[in-house]
Structures are given as C-alpha cells and as structure tokens.
Structure 1
Amino acid sequence: VNLRIMFGALGPAEGSIEAQVTKLAELQRKGLVRHIGLSNVTRAQIAEGRKICKIVCVQNQYNLAHRDDDALIDELARDGIAYVPFFPLGGFSPLQSSTLSNVAERLGATPMQVALAWLLQRSPNILLIPGTSSVAHLRENLAAAELELSADVLA
C-alpha cells in the first residue's frame, strides 16, 4: 500500500504523516497489509515514516525534465528502498525536447522509449510503472528496457 500525501497541491509539502503511517503499520501487524510505501513525500516525511515501520518504496514525480529527487533516489538506493517515479513520461504533457528527439532518432527508438531507458539506467532502485492503453504501446514500453544508452546520451 502506498500512502499518498496531499499536503501540497503542486507536489510534496511538509507536514507530519505519523498518524497515517501508524495506522498502516497497525494494519501490517494484523497481516492486512504486506508492504508500506510513501507517495508525494518529502525527505523529512520519509524519515518520519521509517521511524514507524519499514518503508519499501517512495513514489514521487521524477522524469528527464523533473529531477528534484536526484539526491533522494541515490540515498534510497543505498538503503535498498525502491523509487517509483510517477509521470515518468511527463504526465498530462508528454516530455518533448529536441535533444530527446535527436537521441531517439540516432537510436532508432521513440522519444518515450529513450525517456524510459534513461530512468531504468539512472539507478538500480528505480521501478517503472508507465501507463498504457494498448498492447502496441505496452510492447513499445517494454522495448525501452532493451535500449543501451551510452554515457554521453545519459548525460
């Protein structure tokens, strides 16, 4: 179960999550919840949650254009906690840039495949859940895992 915190309208905002996480931890002790994750949270909220129970994943907005959690991803990786980027392809406005399009063209891929491959190669703790509405789109997303991006492309 991911607890999504909505203190801020445009992203994570500070505020205590102790009460909510404590309730989830109680459900976990009763065997009703196996794992607990946090979504749309700050570094302080993650620390607060980890004092109450084991946190297995953090789900925040992150993609090629929105990289506020760069350091957090690395910290979570060191602690064995998965990071699940939401809006990995930009959300309601898909990612667009000439750099992304040029790299995709050089690799014979779509820009969205390059964006997904970049995330997969960004850190071993990144777990992608890109949305899809068709089998063809699912296949396109899966093919992103086969792309090998060079160091200059990753940069």
Structure 2
Amino acid sequence: MTSKGFRIGGDLEVRRLGFGAMHLSTEAGPARESSLAVARRVVELGVTLIDTAYLYGGGANEELLAEALYPYPDGLVITTKVGVARSGPHGEWKLDGRPDVLRTQVEQALRRLRVERIELLQLHRIDPETPLADQLGTLRDMRTEGKIGRVGLSEVTVAELDQARQIVDVASVQNRYNVLDREHEPVLLACEHAGIAFLPWRPVAAGTSGELAGIAAVASEVGATPTQVLLAWLLSRSPVMLPIPGTARVEHVEENLAAGELHLTSAQYAALDRLHQPT
C-alpha cells in the first residue's frame, strides 16, 4: 500500500484514484464516440481501476468498455456488479440475488467484457428476499471455479459486512461517502481495520452554500478546483480509500486525476473535515 497504490484483496495492485463508468453514454452516434474517447483517455492517464455494473444499461456499459479498451493493457482492472435485474412484476429493475440470476449475470459479464475471469466482482446490493449465504455462496463458488478473482459488496452496514465475511473473503466495499455525507463512516473504519478496499460512490459532495463556500476557500488556497479538493480529501482520509469519480467529459477526467497530485496541509484537511455536521 502506498499513497498512490493499493492491493485489493492483498494482491491486486491498482492506482488509488479510479474511474466510474456509469455516466458514459452507450447510445449510438456522437455521444457513444465521445464515451469511447473518454474511456481510452482514462487509461492513457494511468487509471488501473474502472467501475461498471450490469445495471448500467443492462450490460451496455460493459460492452462499451470492452469496445474501447480490449485488448486490455496489463494491470487494468474492470470491476463490475451483479444482483439487480429486470425481474419486477412489470419488468422493472429490482434487487435479485437468486443464485441462478447471479450466475447468469456473471457469465454474461465475462462474455461482454471478453475476459475469462473478473478480477473483482461486486454484489450491487444485498437482496433481502434471498438468504445471504445463497448470494455470496454463489459468488464464492464462481471464485473457486476461476471465473471471479475477488468478491466485493456495495451499500452494506458493518453488521452485514461482518456476516458476509463469515461466508466469503470480502475484498472491497462500495458505499456512498464524501466529505459532507459520512453515514457509512463506521463501515469505512471497519474496512480500514480489515484492510478492505473502500470505493466511495458519489465522492463529490453537494452541500449548502456555507459548506460549498468552505470547500471553495480551500480550493482557492491550493489553486485547485473544488472537485479536486474533495477528491484529495478522500485520498487523505484513509489509506484504503479508492475514489472512482465518474464523468462523460475528457477535460473532467483530466481534472479529476490531477487531484492525485494535490497535497492538503493538515489545516486545510481539518477545515474540510469540520464541514461535516454529524446527524
């Protein structure tokens, strides 16, 4: 583990500042061409962790990344998520962690991403209608089969993380977290204690005018954008923190990744830290 790198599961080396692909348009035409260019620029800039999910277009986002980046450069990790399906009464999206659904989604992801193994596969949400042992047992079995390298979770509590770790080794947790929204602080601390990667989604805070003014003040001091300051704060917050900011614009990708070179003083970090008002 270094200031710029982290080993997910103890052995999968990635750069700590990754990329979330959710916002990339998969529609045919200029928007798709722009998305392909963004994905390629992300890798050119040295990102080694890209996050996607079956939910993002029913697999279309996975296909887009494969089109943009396959054959993949050495060291690039594309993590995807399963466990949400169009299995509602009227074909709407709902949590679905039934073993056959998870297995099918993993198999489809392997095909769409054009790989034989997904190095990090995350359960998008825990399905309350399916026993957790069935959900994680399926992913554990597919790991044994060599189709999954490591298993991660998303939007879990400390209790759920503890329960999950009795069933399978958990390599990552992807929960909502930013400087103003720290509902999952206990989960972050649990991950830090166990050496589990923590991938904050919605890493850029949206706050009140006073809070945003405080962020802007620090940004002005360091000559950076508010977004860069927020990402730098996350990287300073914990050594297991792996932010995955997403955007559909090349210039924003370049801006976000420059945050990895931004160093906050202890006073600036503390000023940002104080903006959070615990509930």
Is the pair's TM-score, using the shorter chain for normalization, greater than 0.5?
yes
C-alpha separation between the residues in 1 aligned to 2:180 and 2:136?
Answer: 30
AA partner of residue 5 (structure 1): R
| Structure 1 ranges of 4+ moved more than 4 A | none
Who wins on radius of gyration, i.e. which is larger? 2
Partner of 1:100: 215
* Counterpart pick for 2:182 among 67, 73, 88: 67
State whether structure 2 residue 145 is matched by structure 1 residue 25: no
C-alpha separation between the residues in 2 aligned to 1:19 and 1:153?
Answer: 46
Cα offsets for 1:26-48 (capped at 9, x unmatched): 11111111110000111111111
CA contact (8 A) 2:178 2:202 kept: yes
Partner of 2:123: 3
Residue 243 of structure 2: SS of its match in structure 1?
A: coil
C-alpha separation between the residues in 2 aligned to 1:42 and 1:70?
Answer: 10
CA contact (8 A) 2:157 2:187 kept: no
Stretches of structure 2 lacking an aligned partner (at least 5 in a row): 1-120, 271-279
- Give the Å deviation of 1:6: 5.6
Partner of 1:77: 192
CA contact (8 A) 2:198 2:241 kept: yes
- Give the Å deviation of 1:65: 0.9
Stretches of structure 1 lacking an aligned partner (at least 5 in a row): 8-12
- Give the Å deviation of 1:69: 2.2
User: Superposed, which structure 2 residues align to 1:1-155 within 5 Å?
Assistant: 1-5=121-125, 17-90=132-205, 94=206, 97-155=212-270
More strand by share: 2
C-alpha separation between the residues in 2 aligned to 1:145 and 1:52?
Answer: 35
C-alpha separation between the residues in 1 aligned to 2:244 and 2:173?
Answer: 13
C-alpha separation between the residues in 2 aligned to 1:151 and 1:44?
Answer: 32
Cα offsets for 1:46-83 (capped at 9, x unmatched): 11111111100000000011012223222211211000
CA contact (8 A) 2:151 2:169 kept: yes
- Give the Å deviation of 1:95: 5.0
C-alpha separation between the residues in 2 aligned to 1:142 and 1:22?
Answer: 36
CA contact (8 A) 1:113 1:140 kept: yes
Cα offsets for 1:105-148 (capped at 9, x unmatched): 11111000000000011001001111021221111011111111
The CA RMSD measured in Å over matched residues stands at 1.8
C-alpha separation between the residues in 1 aligned to 2:168 and 2:215?
Answer: 40
